[in-house]
Amino acid sequence: MKVAIVGAGQLGRMLAQAAYPLGIATEFYDKSADTPGGQVAPIVTGEFDDLAKLTALAGRADVVTFDWENVPVASLEAMRRATPVCPDPGVLAVAQDRLLEKTLFRDLGIPTPPFAPVDLRSDLAAAIRRIGRPGILKTRRFGYDGKGQARIRTARDDDRAWAALGGEPLIYEGFVDFTREVSLIAARSRRGERAYYPLTENVHEHGILASSSSPCRSPRLQAAAERHVGAILERFGYTGVLAVEFFVAKGALIANEMAPRVHNSGHWTIEGAVTSQFENHLRAILGLPLGSTAARGHAGMVNFVGRVPRLERALAEPGLHLHLYGKREARPGRKLGHATVVASTAKARDRALGRLLRLR
């Protein structure tokens, strides 16, 4: 069996690493061979709209998948004429547009912040009158890790936000006064089998995931998250891993965004779950039985962003599992690696997580 992976970042790298023990071959496609994925498996280089190269790659694989959301949907549609593409490019098209994404949530009865499309300065004024302040003005496309966003707290912020983002399709969302952020990762196979991981609690800094801890034990929130994510899986006849991020506000879930791929907040599953999200994604898209998503204990994950700790210091931490992505250039905001710990109790996990945070 062979899987073609469009995008060769750290998520693709971890997919290839999960494929190796199962005897599954992988081949990447990216603009450069100097990528995390390109260090562990063969890679074809080219532009993401080079349909000849992409179609040739698809023809050599049993299935095509992707490791980031900004792959052109038209390219995946072309590849699908040669071999199956999972997840379906249609769900990627929705995830690439915040307005379509929020509309999907609303149509499926999934709670979401109030929102309105903004194309003109007058649209922003109308959206603020209807939704109120505070709120967040966002680009509809290509925003991630806090990029493409402007907070509007008072009337003085209106023009500043428009000056920063105006001129492209936008969405205005009401601010959610949340107490914490959580995510649910699910897998659905080509055979329709489903599996849900325990809820994960996440902490973001400057719009980038800083740390995660799981399981976040709340049977009520777990059931609600599975119901919401399950509705998305069924709407698209989804195949693969899907992650949905939620705010918790007044004890209820409010959907923020979805990612139709393996997800940063699921890194803990490599050591902390019976079957990692990466292995289950491969199982799902190849039509294999899904593995157990049960937690092995209480897991914590810390992202190393902008810098990595000295290897000697990191490996001196008891129980630490270190994953460095092989990126040659360190710069602010760039994810360079992560570390996980798994403990027998939540208190022990939190103590270890605190030590990991001090490594950054």
Prediction pTM value: 0.95
CA-closest candidate to residue 250, choices 357, 111, 100: 111
Rounded Cα–Cα distance for residues 42 and 27 (Å) = 5
Residues contacting residue 297 through CB under 8 Å, at least 6 positions apart = 272, 342, 343, 344, 349
Residues contacting residue 310 through CB under 8 Å, at least 6 positions apart = none
Rounded Cα–Cα distance for residues 286 and 187 (Å) = 12
Domains of the chain: 2-85 (3.40.50.20), 114-174 (3.30.1490.20), 180-359 (3.30.470.20)
Whether 247 and 183 have beta carbons less than 8 Å apart is answered as no
* pLDDT tens-place values along the chain, 360 residues long: 999 999 999 999 999 999 999 999 999 999 999 999 999 999 999 999 999 999 999 999 999 999 988 999 999 999 999 999 999 999 999 999 999 999 999 999 999 999 999 999 999 999 999 999 999 999 999 766 667 899 999 999 999 999 999 989 999 999 999 999 999 999 999 999 999 999 999 999 988 999 999 999 899 999 999 999 999 999 999 999 999 999 999 999 999 999 999 999 999 999 999 999 999 999 999 999 999 999 999 999 999 999 999 999 999 999 999 999 999 888 998 999 999 999 999 999 999 999 999 998
